[in-house]
């Protein structure tokens, strides 16, 4: 219960910061000022936006399928929020440390699609329906390359537990029960004879441990943009053609929930990318001879220092990825539906399949 409340509060804080950052980053990239009025540099803007949304009337269209319409935002947010349950925030803080976390996450995120379809169908609005259909088609398609990219990580790490995958990517590896006799080698190739178990830092991140995962990371990142309906894959809510996509009929609190779910999805996919590919809560600084940078910036397990360092590295890496998502949104034009499906089925999926094969071969080199 405590983990639930803590995660929710943390998520709300991150989403509010992200909504503000989105507007500011967009403004700066377009040579504008962005919000300036509410609070210093407009920093209270997103808080006030939320307060405004909470005060607004909750309109349910007369022709809507009322029960579906009302249930959809709750289901969408619940699906996304449930995904946070298995995210390890620090070396010893996981809301629910289940052994099949990766599988659970992929499964529970897929529930999002049902909520989207409910919202689009229940609204009884052609734009909402089109938006929902596009959204579902897109998410279902892009789950395949994303799933394959994640699968290649699982094959390299030989685990479905997010926390175990996290421990493998840093100097603390041998502390984790079951990994006492494991060792990390440079690029994961034991034949090179360079052990990096105690060097840690960036050399033990998954993209460095098995460089083939760098390609998997790019595939996952592209697919995650599509899964969270972000530009350049934002045809489900293409403002210029579909008004606002599946949430066009929503207002007030329900819209706030949908908005929150959308931004939570961004945060979640970035967190997963960080955990699976970019070393999770591990420091990027390696131990170099007497300079024990990795040990200094990791802290001691079970003490406050490890919680603070772990949280700091995880969140700062996540924010880098989130910034990249924002920058991509304001850089690239939207893809057409056929281009979107072409990219997914004819480009990303074959490459991801190849990566899975190569990751399997790489795993053989690691033992």
Partner 1 sequence: MNEVKHTYGFWDVVKSLVSGLRLTWRHFKNAKNRRTPEYVTDENYFNQPDGLVTLTYPYEAIPVPDNGRYRLHNEIDDCIVCDLCAKVCPVNCITIESVKATEEIGVTSDGTKKRLYAPVFDIDMAKCCYCGLCTTVCPTDCLTMTPVYDFAEVDIKNMIYHFTDLTPEQAEEKKQLLAKQQEEMAAAKAAALAARKLI
Site residues (CB under 8 A) for partner 1? 25, 27-33, 36, 327-328, 330-332
Q: How far is the CB of 269 from partner 1 (least distance, A)?
A: 19
Q: How far is the CB of 24 from partner 1 (least distance, A)?
A: 9
In this structure, what token pair is assigned to residue 88? 């390890």
Helix (H, G, I), strand (E, B) or coil at 93: strand
Q: Cα–Cα distances in Å, from 238 out to 14, 146, 243, 256?
A: 25, 23, 7, 19
Q: For residues 222 and 315, which CB has a smaller minimum distance to partner 1 in the complex?
A: 222
Judge contact between 277 and 217, C-beta under 8 A. Answer: yes
Q: For residues 45 and 306, which CB has a smaller minimum distance to partner 1 in the complex?
A: 45
Q: For residues 34 and 61, which CB has a smaller minimum distance to partner 1 in the complex?
A: 34
Helix (H, G, I), strand (E, B) or coil at 229: coil
Q: For residues 36 and 300, which CB has a smaller minimum distance to partner 1 in the complex?
A: 36
Q: For residues 29 and 357, which CB has a smaller minimum distance to partner 1 in the complex?
A: 29
Q: How far is the CB of 333 from partner 1 (least distance, A)?
A: 9
Q: How far apart are CA 215 and CA 310, in angstroms?
A: 26
Q: At what angle do helices 252-277 and 45-55 cross, to 10 degrees?
A: 140
Place of tokens 């990249």: 324
Q: For residues 29 and 194, which CB has a smaller minimum distance to partner 1 in the complex?
A: 29
Q: How far is the CB of 358 from partner 1 (least distance, A)?
A: 18
Write out the DSSP string of 313-330: HHHHHHHHHHHHHHHHHT
Judge contact between 217 and 207, C-beta under 8 A. Answer: yes
Judge contact between 171 and 287, C-beta under 8 A. Answer: yes
% helix, strand, coil for the chain, step of 5: 70, 0, 30
Q: How far is the CB of 349 from partner 1 (least distance, A)?
A: 17
Q: How far is the CB of 37 from partner 1 (least distance, A)?
A: 9
């Amino acid at each position: 219960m405590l983990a639930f409340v803590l995660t929710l509060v943390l998520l709300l804080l991150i989403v509010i910061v992200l909504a503000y950052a989105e507007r500011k980053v967009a403004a700066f990239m377009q040579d504008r000022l962005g919000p300036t009025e509410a609070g210093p540099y407009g920093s209270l803007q997103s808080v006030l936006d939320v307060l405004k949304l909470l005060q607004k009337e909750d309109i349910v269209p007369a022709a809507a399928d009322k029960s579906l319409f009302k249930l959809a935002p709750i289901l969408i947010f619940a699906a996304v929020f449930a995904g946070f349950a298995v995210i390890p925030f620090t070396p010893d803080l996981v809301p629910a440390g289940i052994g099949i976390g990766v599988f659970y996450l992929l499964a529970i995120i897929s529930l999002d699609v049902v909520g989207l379809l409910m919202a689009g169908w229940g609204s009884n609005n052609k734009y909402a329906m089109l938006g929902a259909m596009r959204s579902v088609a897109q998410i279902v398609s892009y789950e395949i390359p994303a799933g394959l990219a994640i699968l290649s990580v699982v094959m390299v790490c030989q685990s479905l537990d997010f926390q175990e995958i996290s421990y493998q990517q840093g100097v603390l590896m041998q502390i984790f029960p079951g990994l006492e006799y494991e060792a990390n080698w440079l690029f994961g190739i034991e034949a090179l004879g360079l052990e990096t178990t105690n060097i840690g830092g960036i050399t033990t991140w998954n993209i460095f441990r098995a460089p083939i995962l760098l390609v998997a990371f790019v595939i996952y990142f592209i697919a995650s943009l599509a899964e969270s309906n972000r530009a350049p894959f934002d045809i489900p809510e293409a403002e210029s053609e579909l008004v606002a996509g599946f949430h066009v009929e929503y207002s007030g609190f329900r819209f706030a929930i949908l908005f929150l779910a959308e931004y939570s999805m961004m945060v979640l996919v970035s967190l997963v990318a960080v955990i699976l590919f970019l070393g999770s809560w591990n420091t990027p600084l390696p131990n170099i001879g007497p300079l024990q940078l990795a040990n200094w910036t990791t802290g001691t397990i079970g003490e406050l220092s490890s919680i603070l360092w772990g949280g700091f590295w995880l969140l700062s890496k996540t924010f880098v990825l989130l910034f990249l998502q924002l920058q991509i949104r304001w850089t690239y034009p939207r893809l057409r539906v056929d281009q979107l499906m072409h990219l997914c089925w004819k480009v990303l999926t074959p490459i991801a399949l190849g990566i899975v094969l190569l990751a399997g071969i790489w795993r053989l080199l690691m033992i």
